[in-house]
Structure 1
């Protein structure tokens, strides 16, 4: 047989898109599907006679062209096959009009595909949303889709085809130049083209506006000149059916959004897809090729889901390819894939980072560690919790409260590390904005980005600055604060366990936090107090190891006693400064017991001076409720002295008399 693949031109008796989709799938994922099998599933006639030998050939060895019937064109039934009824139940007719049908989509098969492109990934992952949008459009309702720009091209094609309408696409602007591409001249051309399309649209036409947000100016503030003009265009003929797309980060004025009867958000990946046989297929299996899965030994589609749940189909494919290129040609395990996808999310995010703090690096606080490790276990194994209890049992947020310097942010980073999550630490005042509505928008954007980078941890430092108790006053500051709290409540109540996002607030003023946020179903308070003697010993041990300072067990005991009422950050500073003197001092000084004693003494005197400046009664110190007074030597005694020198009472070099 000739090496050239035979060409077959088919005229479908039903939905032409369904035939094209199945042919495309068969070429990459069904190597044994014959032409006869294809025609049994999707009846069609050919423009030239087909032989039985041709029908027995696998589809990948045939070039198939799907065409429309033309007047006077002779057609031939496949030999030995009976022409089935068209999918809509009517008589078979070449070139029938397309309507919304269940089989007009590529369905995933069990097992990993041999190949998958971005368009197929989008159509597989978001099939339910595509069908829903197409049905609304088919019934004459305009649809506004809220999705990331990466999806727009693929969704516009898929929804338009499945709607059964004639698509009129307004010229698409590249999403890589949001600011520069939509200059005045280009925007005017877009508006003129849209105006023409709206005025000349026929009853079964569908007008697709891929960059509605850019045309509107990308803001929901006071109606701009561009938004006013666009509003005039879209409302010129209300009966025109529109399909518009808006990026979540570029909102549009409500008057424009109201032109669309239906709004759909297409963003997160579903856990499972409906397979070709109607059974459920894990999305981590349907969108990961066999070659990619084989590279990472121990690949688990179900376990992989929590690391990709917040990504859209295109970004997920980018992340997997990113990991595949990193390890191609070498041995790798599933954990490597998870790590690289996590790196990819952090690298493509403007705000989120990768934490590298473990619970083992935090000294003491064993009870708090156990509680947080329990929360991590619940979040990591949420899929094992019965669905009816999942929303209640998986934690949404914590408030770490206590004195400054006790490691509240450090604990948050350790939680994120244990979750294999990305993390964003944002100061509360950074969220507030002088313009009306901007603070709420910032909160929305933070949570939206966290979901895209899930599993993720958002840490609000100085949480009391944005989550204070709401008041009934009508001044601008009170209204802004109330609006931020309301937006936080909205985001927490929209919590989805399958997209792990943990919110942690840190504060030393729990008493002013709004009561609604302190409900157990929202934020769970955890008190992180000054460390106990045992905790201080462990903290000192951790930092001595981190800064490579040699310290004996006996010295650790006395250092723990000498640092009473000090926080973990102050204890860390003792080892940091000792190491700095050893490495960079002029002249260098050994990080020994003597130097550690001097540094502890300096911290104690600073604390005493601070207390005096605040007019703290001396009885507070002497009663044991504050920082201990007195010379350092009374606490360190001989245990901090090198064999030839005593620990000084002051920071001077002379020994204590």
Structure 2
């Protein structure tokens, strides 16, 4: 088995190298994570929690003797604190691993916005919420800047205005910010306040001036790097080439830039930054000024908001806001507070809103602020009849997904399922099951038809997949349902035609997104298909999708399905009649059973047929059976016609072969055989 090579940089490379050499003898079970706990180090490649679980016997550790070259990206492994890289205590001020001996500028605690140690804050602005939620990441980025490393931060646009000045300020370096508002005139005919080509050229000129003329100790802040060179793919456009030339002209200049996750920055530009950080989700806990850890629901929710909603649970709140950023969280909670606080009109409310009401308002808010996600209202217990085994299996899985934040950190990635594939005959309720799953999770849902993903332009299908997953993470807890999943997840082939390459690329993008999931962000993927045999084997691995067959209902399930639809359409049916309907609909799916009660109710309201009785329901079941028999007969006749045509073609081919064989041998062709046309023969 080949070993994975990992390159590390630390303050004492020889000690780390000696530990790696002696580990097979001293501690054969030593993992990479345990090694980094003993010898904190930076990595030249980004490491995940899975990497830290690898034993050293499966890892080839290469330790650098000298600091890496300028511009080389360095990554902080999960769980390693910056302060530990310089030999400081974990609670000391962090520094950077590239220059562990670099002095750290003093920070004043009064300049830092920290979470309250006890209780909830009385007031909380959006800026304070961002600084509290991302205090560790802000200090980490500032430490990198302080030691002379350029930093590229990937975060949503709503956070940039709050992060840019704070990170640069904590670094202790003077800052020069390239702002859109600094453009004084509109060049090139752009409208006032517009962003035409002249405006963009002016912004590049401002950036060029800042990068060229800034003193060495300054940090140049680029709040919107992606708007200057980002796009839907990593292609190097003309704008990106121009920006690359500007940034690399002074490669020693310290930069702090921001990019949105929805826009792709070309790798040659991203490579200009020594460190890349991602602020994509909220942490479960934040650190107070006293170095204590408190739940996010305590630090970012005010006292008035907690007092309004009874039974408020700060720890449980994280499951329902894990995919949001701090600004969107404050918007949602403020919306819920004003909505419920205004219901009493100054009087004591008859019903005090509960924590469950707050969670429901958060779901509705997320659905309304998203262009595609909606809030489902399908009960797994009441809206779906029968299928008890399927329901039990789903509930067990949903208990794990919903409680992922409470699982041991080292087991979350292994225990939480990425998603399900519901497969079975048409009309068995696969999409309905998906909506019920979203309701059980308290999640928003997006139903996407598989063919909607495919696009004629190269790279667009993969971009759509990336955007769907990014939107789901922002709306977590969320469920994405890919209807007709086999249309985008079919077996990859080795053919070199364009269609096959495009299909292979979509499957590869799905695999990338699934493997990049964070268990603490409750996002579930469900695919529905009638042809599971077409799905790529890599997606059917137990660690990715769990196949669940939703077959035609048995007698018990048909009885329960009939009862659900009879109640839904208001058709009075006795239990004995339900049993007879279940017997008569043998071999039918749930949608066909539903049509019996739908048509019965429609006949009463529109067709003037009166209240549905046993006779009317029997007529409708009989019509269904006749329709099925007619379809089966038509298919049989069509198949016979195709077989007859194929047999005739085979007989004609054999006759032609006999004629050809007889002519070439000089023998007479059999009677009735078509003579060979020799008009074009050149033989004398």
User: Which stretches in structure 2 are left out of the alignment for 5+ residues?
Assistant: 1-91, 94-102, 183-192, 640-684
Cα shift readout 1:345-387 (whole Å, capped 9, x = no counterpart): 1111111110100012101101101111111222222233333
Distance of 1:378 and 1:126 partners within structure 2? 27
Distance of 2:279 and 2:587 partners within structure 1? 52
Cα shift readout 1:276-329 (whole Å, capped 9, x = no counterpart): 222211111011111111111111110111111111111111111011111115
Alignment match, 1:110:
118
2:230–2:266 Cα contact (<8 Å) kept: no
1:100–1:134 Cα contact (<8 Å) kept: no
1:320 correspondence with 2:326:
no
* Residue 100 of structure 1, CA deviation: 6.6
Distance of 2:181 and 2:258 partners within structure 1? 12
Alignment match, 1:255:
268
Distance of 1:343 and 1:169 partners within structure 2? 38
Alignment match, 1:402:
424
* Residue 101 of structure 1, CA deviation: 4.1
Alignment match, 2:357:
336
* Residue 217 of structure 1, CA deviation: 5.2
1:200 correspondence with 2:213:
yes
Distance of 2:610 and 2:363 partners within structure 1? 42
Alignment match, 1:308:
321
TM-score by length of 2: 0.73
1:422–1:456 Cα contact (<8 Å) kept: yes
Q: Which moved more, 1:506-515 or 1:404-413?
A: 506-515
Alignment match, 2:138:
130
From 442, 446, 469, the counterpart of 1:424: 446
From 131, 134, 144, the counterpart of 2:152: 144
Cα shift readout 1:512-566 (whole Å, capped 9, x = no counterpart): 2111111111111111000111111111110111111111222111111111111
* Residue 173 of structure 1, CA deviation: 6.5
Q: Aligned runs of 1:619-638 on 2, under 5 Å?
A: none
Cα RMSD (Å):
2.2
1:614 correspondence with 2:640:
no
- Distance change in 2, residues 1:399/1:152 (3 Å): same
Distance of 1:163 and 1:371 partners within structure 2? 52
Alignment match, 1:270:
283
1:450–1:501 Cα contact (<8 Å) kept: yes
Matched residue SS, 1:543:
helix
Alignment match, 1:390:
412
Matched residue SS, 2:119:
coil
- Distance change in 2, residues 1:578/1:118 (3 Å): same
Distance of 2:481 and 2:503 partners within structure 1? 18
Alignment match, 1:238:
251
* Residue 590 of structure 1, CA deviation: 3.3
Distance of 2:194 and 2:229 partners within structure 1? 14
- Distance change in 2, residues 1:474/1:298 (3 Å): same
Matched residue SS, 1:332:
coil
From 105, 108, 115, the counterpart of 1:99: 105
User: Which stretches in structure 1 are left out of the alignment for 5+ residues?
Assistant: 1-86, 89-96, 175-179, 619-657
Matched residue SS, 1:398:
strand
Matched residue SS, 2:611:
coil
2:122–2:302 Cα contact (<8 Å) kept: yes
* Residue 269 of structure 1, CA deviation: 0.7
- Distance change in 2, residues 1:453/1:173 (3 Å): farther
Alignment match, 2:201:
188
Matched residue SS, 1:503:
strand
Matched residue SS, 2:636:
coil
Matched residue SS, 1:230:
helix
Distance of 1:271 and 1:376 partners within structure 2? 20
1:142–1:262 Cα contact (<8 Å) kept: yes
1:285 correspondence with 2:298:
yes
Cα shift readout 1:321-340 (whole Å, capped 9, x = no counterpart): 01111111542111111111
Distance of 2:518 and 2:230 partners within structure 1? 31
Distance of 1:589 and 1:253 partners within structure 2? 68
Q: Aligned runs of 1:443-592 on 2, under 5 Å?
A: 443-585=465-607, 587-592=608-613
Distance of 2:292 and 2:337 partners within structure 1? 28
2:332–2:362 Cα contact (<8 Å) kept: yes
* Residue 229 of structure 1, CA deviation: 2.4
- Distance change in 2, residues 1:474/1:448 (3 Å): same
Alignment match, 2:188:
none
Distance of 1:195 and 1:279 partners within structure 2? 44
Q: Which moved more, 1:153-162 or 1:330-339?
A: 330-339
2:234–2:267 Cα contact (<8 Å) kept: no
Distance of 2:282 and 2:486 partners within structure 1? 34
Distance of 2:260 and 2:305 partners within structure 1? 30
Q: Aligned runs of 1:633-648 on 2, under 5 Å?
A: none
1:354 correspondence with 2:375:
yes
TM-score by length of 1: 0.76
- Distance change in 2, residues 1:604/1:181 (3 Å): farther
Cα shift readout 1:427-475 (whole Å, capped 9, x = no counterpart): 1111122222222221111111111111111111111111112222222
1:207–1:242 Cα contact (<8 Å) kept: yes
1:229 correspondence with 2:242:
yes
Matched residue SS, 2:421:
strand
* Residue 341 of structure 1, CA deviation: 0.9
Distance of 2:372 and 2:567 partners within structure 1? 31
Q: Which moved more, 1:401-410 or 1:514-523?
A: 514-523
How many residue pairs are counted as aligned between the two chains? 519
Distance of 1:421 and 1:362 partners within structure 2? 18
Distance of 2:474 and 2:530 partners within structure 1? 30
Matched residue SS, 2:469:
helix
2:232–2:463 Cα contact (<8 Å) kept: no
Q: Which moved more, 1:459-468 or 1:487-496?
A: 487-496
Distance of 2:325 and 2:389 partners within structure 1? 38
Q: Which moved more, 1:471-480 or 1:212-221?
A: 212-221
Q: Which moved more, 1:219-228 or 1:505-514?
A: 219-228
* Residue 272 of structure 1, CA deviation: 0.7
2:233–2:463 Cα contact (<8 Å) kept: no
1:597 correspondence with 2:618:
yes
Matched residue SS, 1:238:
coil
Q: Aligned runs of 1:6-85 on 2, under 5 Å?
A: none
2:173–2:219 Cα contact (<8 Å) kept: yes
Matched residue SS, 2:256:
strand
Distance of 1:414 and 1:207 partners within structure 2? 50
1:284–1:305 Cα contact (<8 Å) kept: yes
